[in-house]
Amino acid sequence: MTQPPPTRVLLDCDPGIDDALAILFACGHPGLDLAEVTTVSGNVDLGKVTANALGVLELAGRPDVPVVPGSARPLLRPVADARDVHGESGLGAASLPPARTEPVAGHAVDFLIEQIGAAPGEITLVATGPLTNIALAVRREPRLAGWVKDFVIMGGSAGRGNTTPAAEFNIWADPEAAAIVFSAGWQVTMVGLDVTLQARATPAVQERMRPLGRLAADLLLPGLLGYRGEAPAEGGPAVHDVLALALVAEPGLFGCQPARVEVETAGQWTAGMTVTDFAAPAGTRNALVAMSIDVPAFWDTVLSSYRRIPAAAG
Ligand code: RIB
Ligand code: CA
């Protein structure tokens, strides 16, 4: 049976340890074509997330993928990073050599519009950081919502948050951007904490990574070692962003439910909450919310994707 062509992905991200593992997954999975990367301030500042994206792509053997920097701060709120989780560099205890490539000139917002507008219906847009670039792009060019093949985010939660009791980091960091994105008229596939907290890089998972050459030694293991997110007692670091790309590559691993998602922007204690209504009338639903995942099959596809990266050999 002939395989369908790989899905072309434009990834907007804030590397970030799990963003880095997501980039590696996208480079290794045969069903994905990671064609473009844009960066946004989030886990660490714009300069660092951009340098990290370039460095991870070089380690993955993909220095050809263009990296275009975007917003250095949220739309309205002050910059709030996650160095306490991802470390000063943004890659935990991993230390990659500076990339030999440079970011592409220009701004991510213009790049997103140009690339997606030039290939309507062909590009799956995936966002694994705060939604600042995406909000600016869809406000500048509302037709973007109809031009994407699909739009998938790592962000939000139908239940509790991880940055506050109510809000998950990517939404909490820029709630106004998220509110614009969820009301832009497209279907947002929301890969939130409901599923990402189920996929832990346990010690057994990390042992499966250990034989993966420089990929493991230079990034996977030191990155996970330096990750200060979820408590180790809960099994190990959650690789949140990898699940967003895994849903694009292998949607059958996930169970998703349609819902109406509204983003709280006014609450003193609830700003960034993704208020998820699974009982909303069909015509008002703006999201497909991932609520279940086949965890063993997820890790099998992640490891097999990593093994396909040249740096995993020897
Ligand atoms: O809440 C998890 C999300 O916040 C992930 O995207 C992680 O990289 C951080 O950006
Ligand atoms: Ca991220």
The whole domain housing 281 covers 7-312
> Is 1 inside a domain boundary?
no
Give the pLDDT of residue 207. Answer: 98
Expressed in angstroms and rounded, the spacing between residue 100 Cα and the centre of ligand 2 is: 23
208 closest CA partner among 228, 224, 193: 224
**Mean pLDDT for all residues in the chain:** 97
Pocket test for ligand 1, best of 154, 200, 224, 239 (most atoms within 8 A of CB): 154
Question: pLDDT value at position 3?
Answer: 81
CA distances (Å), 111 to each of 128, 129, 136, 140, in order?
17, 17, 12, 12
Average pLDDT on 192-196 reads 98
Flag whether pLDDT at 230 surpasses 90: no
Over the stretch 2-27, which tens digit does the pLDDT of each residue have? 788 999 999 999 999 999 999 999 99
- Give the pLDDT score at 139: 98
Output the ligand 1 site: residues, CB below 6 A.
14, 16, 18-19, 42-43, 82, 128-129, 154, 162, 168-170, 240-241
pLDDT attached to residue 30 = 98
Q: Within a domain: residue 119?
A: yes
| Residues 148-157: tens digit of each pLDDT | 999 999 999 9
Q: What's the gap in Å between 281 CA and the centre of ligand 1?
A: 30
Q: What is the mean pLDDT of residues 180-188?
A: 98
Which ligand has an atom closest to residue 18 CA? 1
229 pLDDT higher than 90: no
Whole-number pLDDT of residue 265: 98
The per-residue pLDDT for range 108-141, each reduced to its tens digit, is 999 999 999 999 999 999 999 999 999 999 999 9
Q: What's the whole-number mean pLDDT along residues 261-284?
A: 97
Question: Residue 259 domain-assigned?
Answer: yes
User: For residue 233, is pLDDT > 80?
Assistant: no
Q: Residue 228 falls within a domain, yes or no?
A: yes
**Which pLDDT band holds residue 298 (cuts at 50, 70, 90)?**
very high
pLDDT reported for residue 239? 97
pLDDT at residue 107, rounded to an integer? 98
Task: Identify the nearest ligand to the CA of 227 by its number.
Answer: 1
Q: Which residues are catalytic?
A: 240
For ligand 1, atom 1, name the residue with the nearest CA.
169
Domain of residue 187, CATH code: 3.90.245.10
84 CA to centre of ligand 1 in angstroms:
12
* pLDDT value for 123: 98
Instruction: Kindly state whether residue 2 falls inside one of the protein's structural domains.
Output: no
Task: Decide if 53 is inside a domain.
Answer: yes
Is residue 117 classed as helix, strand or coil in its secondary structure?
A: helix
Structural domain includes residue 105: yes
Asked if residue 185 belongs to a domain, the reply is: yes
Q: How large is the average pLDDT for residues 261-276?
A: 98
Q: What is the pLDDT of residue 231?
A: 74
Write down the pLDDT at residue 183: 98
Q: Looking at residue 198, what DSSP letter applies?
A: T
pLDDT digits (tens, 9 = 90+) for 199-213: 999 999 999 999 999
How many domains in the chain? 1
Q: What residues are neighbours of ligand 2 (ion), with CB under 5 Å?
A: 14, 16, 19, 128-129, 241
Distance CA 274, CA 161 (A): 9
Q: How far is the CA of 171 from the centre of ligand 1 (A)?
A: 9
Answer for the pair 107, 69: CB distance below 8 angstroms, yes or no.
yes
User: What does pTM read for this prediction?
Assistant: 0.98
**C-alpha distances in Å from residue 162, one per residue of 31, 143, 165, 171, 202:** 31, 33, 6, 11, 19
